[in-house]
Amino acid sequence: MQQGRDSLSPIAQWRYASLQTLPVMFGYLPLGAAFGILFMQLGHPWWMALVMSLFIYAGAGQFMAVTLLANHAGLLEVAVATFMLNSRHLFYGLSLLKRFKGAGWRKPYLIFALTDETYSLLTNQGQQEQGPEDHANAWRISLLNQLWWVLGTLAGAMAGALLDFDSRGIEFALTALFIVLTLEQASRLRQALPFVIALFTGLGALILLPEQNLLLGAIGAASLILLVHYLWAGRSRGSY
Amino acid sequence: METTALLIFIAVSALATFATRVLPFVALSRHADHPLILHLGRYLPPAVMMILVIYALRDFRPLSEEHLNMTPNGWPVIIASLTVVALHLWRRNALLSIVAGTGLYMLMVQLGPVDVSFTAALAPVFIRGKAGGEKFGYSK
């Protein structure tokens, strides 16, 4: 599968990339549609949903944006809440610093399009090839993933505007996605540590913190515990 | 909300999202190999995913008025979640797990003993802000 992809025709290269994005397509079409439908409940024009999926392009972030819009949140609140919710992306970039080096004109888009799912695909695929060929394939995967998201949004916005579609319960797709991603992470890592920390901080935040600070508190506390764990592990190794 | 205000809102949200993605590339490119960065890069993403699951299930209430709660924030959400887990462990197919779990949940919510007030609160159940879902206009 890997050898000689340079010699493949453009059509074959896109075909190969779209096969890789197939699972994301099945996640993004219903999720994008769920977002489109939810957004239309606010009574804004349908193309605004499209603008959001084109320029924000973040699953959970856009769902939260719907909530913030409904609650008439201030712009500072929007900026802080969005940054905090998506702050997990900070750590995605870290592991791709080297991978994206030298990606040239593709690099800005590769960074912009770095969602949970794109990150999963890019880090899960074997890295037999490097350099331009890897960047080109990563770019195709990123672009296709956003295409699925935008198409889903469009379908949802249309359905929300035109049909009297009973969408109650569809937002569970987001919960299902997080569950699937957690299982994928667990099977990749095969270590209990981060999940124990997450249970501890997640349930702790649930009990102790008000709703709007819950996510930030839990993720912040988890980072802090991981920092302490790093220092502690480093001291027991005697490396500093 | 008028179009301009909405576009400004979208621009702010887009910039904040892009900031989280681009910051490591502009700020830390020289420290990519620092062991602390590698440590966080390894353990934080799975922890965050798990926290997102807990966050998504935070409105679960097992009982309502001393009966099993079968409204959307009751057992349907747990049954659907367990279905997703079981299906995913079995077939390892993201499509199947997500679509089947969501379909089952929608079925339970739409056919089950749904209290109207809970239905109104359901829409933004995962990312609901302070004011709750009343503003989503599920009046029809």
Tell me the per-residue pLDDT of A22-36, one tens digit each, with 9 for 90 and over. Answer: 778 877 888 898 899
Q: How far apart are CA B79 and CA A84, in angstroms?
A: 30
pLDDT score of A237: 63
Provide the pLDDT confidence category of residue B23 given band limits of 50, 70 and 90.
very high
Residues B26, B30, B35, CA angle at the centre, nearest 5°?
115
Rounded Cα distance, A17 and A216, in Å: 35
Determine the pLDDT at residue B113.
Answer: 67
Interface contact B50-A199, CB threshold 8 A: yes
Closest CA to B92 of A207, A55, A218, A184: A184
Interfacial A residues in 160-189 facing B (CB < 8 Å): 164, 166-186, 188-189
Quote the distance between the C-alpha of residue A181 and its chain's center.
Answer: 10
pLDDT above 80 (res B114): no
Q: State whether residue A192 sits within 8 Å of chain B by CB.
A: no
Structural Rg of chain B based on CA atoms: 20
pLDDT at A151: 96
Q: Which of B2, B34, B44 to mutate to probe the A interface, most A CBs <10 Å?
A: B44
| Side chain identity at residue A75, one-letter code | L
Q: What is the per-residue pLDDT across B77-101, written as a single tens digit (0 to 9) for each?
A: 999 999 999 999 999 987 789 889 9
The residue of A64, A67, A164 whose CB has the most chain B CBs within 10 angstroms, and thus the best one to mutate to test that interface, is A67
pLDDT of residue A124: 63
State the Cα–Cα distance between residues A21 and B94, nearest whole angstrom: 11
Instruction: Note whether A194 contacts B46, CB cutoff 8 Å.
Output: yes
Distance CA B37, CA B33 (A): 7
Question: Given a cut of 50, is residue B127 above it in pLDDT?
Answer: no
Q: What is the complex's ipTM, to 2 decimals?
A: 0.76
Q: Which residue in B2, B3, B53, B136 has the most chain A C-beta atoms within 10 A of its own C-beta, making it the best mutation to test that interface?
A: B53
Instruction: Give residue B35's pLDDT.
Output: 85
pLDDT higher for B45 or A190? Answer: A190
What is the mean predicted confidence (pLDDT) over A141-170?
A: 85
Q: Please indicate whether residue A136 or residue A215 has the higher confidence score (pLDDT).
A: A136
pLDDT for A229 beyond 80: yes
Please give the pLDDT value at position B128: 40
> Does A156 contact B at CB distance below 8 Å?
no
Query: What mean pLDDT is reported for chain A?
Result: 83
The pLDDT assigned to B123 comes to 47
Question: In 3-state terms, what secondary structure has residue B68?
Answer: strand
B133 pLDDT above the threshold of 50: no
Q: Is A26 left (phi over 0), alpha (psi -120 to 50) or beta?
A: alpha
- The residue with greater pLDDT, A213 or A42, is A42
- Quote the pLDDT of residue A113: 95
Q: Of A40-54, A98-112, A156-170, A199-213, where does mean pLDDT reach its minimum?
A: A156-170
What's the rounded mean pLDDT across residues B5-25? 94
Residues A74 and A101: beta-carbon distance below 8 Å: no
Q: What is the mean pLDDT of residues B98-127?
A: 69
- Band (B119; pLDDT cuts 50, 70, 90): very low
Phi, psi of A163 (to 5 degrees): -100, 155
The A residues from 7 to 36 touching B (CB cutoff 8 Å) are: 22-24, 26-27, 30-31
Per the confidence metrics, is the pTM higher than 0.95?
no
What does the pLDDT read at residue A183? 92
Confidence of residue B139 (pLDDT cuts 50, 70, 90): very low
From A184-188, A209-213, B106-110, the region with the lowest mean pLDDT: A209-213
Cβ <8 Å between B85 and A179: yes
Nearest 5°: phi and psi at B88? Answer: -75, -35
HEC sequence for A18-58: HHHCHHHHHHHHHHHHHHHHHHHCCCCCHHHHHHHHHHCCC
Give the range with max mean pLDDT: A54-58, A92-96, B50-54, B95-99.
A54-58
A185, two tokens: 């992470």
**B:36-65 residues touching chain A, CB 8 A cutoff:** 36-58
Band of residue A71 on the pLDDT scale cut at 50, 70, 90: confident
Angle, helix A132-162 to helix A46-55, in steps of 10 degrees: 160
Percent of chain B at pLDDT exceeding 90: 32
Q: Give yes or no for a contact between A2 and A126, defined as CB atoms under 8 angstroms apart.
A: yes
What local confidence, expressed as pLDDT, does residue A1 receive? Answer: 44
Nearest to B99 among A30, A44, A202 (CB): A30
Least confident stretch, A37-46, A82-91, A136-145, A197-206: A82-91
| Cβ contacts of A98 on chain B, cutoff 8 Å | 32
Contact yes or no for A71 and B108 at CB 8 A: no
- Residue A50's pLDDT is what? 95
Confidence of residue A160 (pLDDT cuts 50, 70, 90): confident
